[in-house]
Amino acid sequence: MSLDPRTKLLILSITGISVFLNESIVVECLFTAIPVFLLLQAKEFRTASKYGVLFIVLLMVQLFVILKLPVTTGGIIYMFDVYIRKLIPCFMLGTFLIRTTKVSTFLAAFSRLHLPKGFTIALSVTLRYFPTMAEEWSYIKDAMALRGITASLIGFLRYPIRIMEYVYVPMLVSASKISDEITQAAITRGIDHTGRRSCMEKVCFSIHDALIVTIYIGIICMIFFDFLRGGVFP
């Protein structure tokens, strides 16, 4: 299933706003199930399973564990549980957008919306920045593992100074270097050209885009229906 970049950003925006207005677990499961399906379609099996299992675990904690805890402890755990669970669909859609969208396709799609050029360029640079940063992070972790330093919470608790010196400092330097390199590459490709840009990418809405947008509109209608009826869905 190939979706238009505009559709991906639209459903990400809808999810980011609607998921915090929703109080129904049923609707919340729908918000999570669709990104899982999209990631599986994109063959991102590890990412889909990781977020799917995390969502199920957090949901089970709310339904079965929190009720057996003291009120104060249960309230604190419930607050973190719910907010983390509501962010999971946003993280999945963001990952789906980044890993399945080429920068050239992204620029071709958003140039048709006649948005401010600075906004479009910022989004396209961000789209390229995170995968490069993740790759650099894996290199740094491998280098530190050779020195016997684990870039994890346990490693930070055991060697906080060494983690900051050997892991986070190189990470900050790499982040600055990568941002400069991406900016220079974009300028070299003529991203700041003031005239009309030509593009070899074919971007258009398909039946899949219409179906996904219709589903999300239906979910929004369910949220409003649930709100007006005073919580029909559990």
Clarify whether residues 96 and 10 are in a common domain.
yes
* Domain boundaries, position 26: 5-101+206-229
Clarify whether residues 96 and 119 are in a common domain.
no
Give this prediction's pTM: 0.78
Clarify whether residues 95 and 142 are in a common domain.
no
Clarify whether residues 144 and 79 are in a common domain.
no
What pLDDT is stored for residue 132 in this prediction? 77
Clarify whether residues 11 and 97 are in a common domain.
yes
Clarify whether residues 120 and 69 are in a common domain.
no
Q: Which helix (H) or strand (E) holds 210?
A: helix 207-228
Clarify whether residues 180 and 218 are in a common domain.
no
CA distances from 124 to 34, 134, 179, 185, 226 (A): 24, 17, 12, 12, 37
Q: What average pLDDT does the segment 106-126 reach?
A: 74
DSSP 130: H
Clarify whether residues 93 and 49 are in a common domain.
yes
Clarify whether residues 153 and 213 are in a common domain.
no
Clarify whether residues 11 and 77 are in a common domain.
yes
198 domain-assigned? no
195 domain-assigned? no
Helix axes 25-41, 45-60, angle to 10 degrees: 160
170 domain-assigned? yes
List pLDDT tens digits, range 50-102.
999 999 999 999 988 888 888 888 888 999 999 999 999 999 999 998 888 88
Q: Please report, as a single letter, which amino acid is at residue 129.
A: Y
Q: What average pLDDT does the segment 105-120 reach?
A: 74
Clarify whether residues 146 and 30 are in a common domain.
no
The count of domains in the chain is 2
Helix axes 5-18, 71-100, angle to 10 degrees: 170
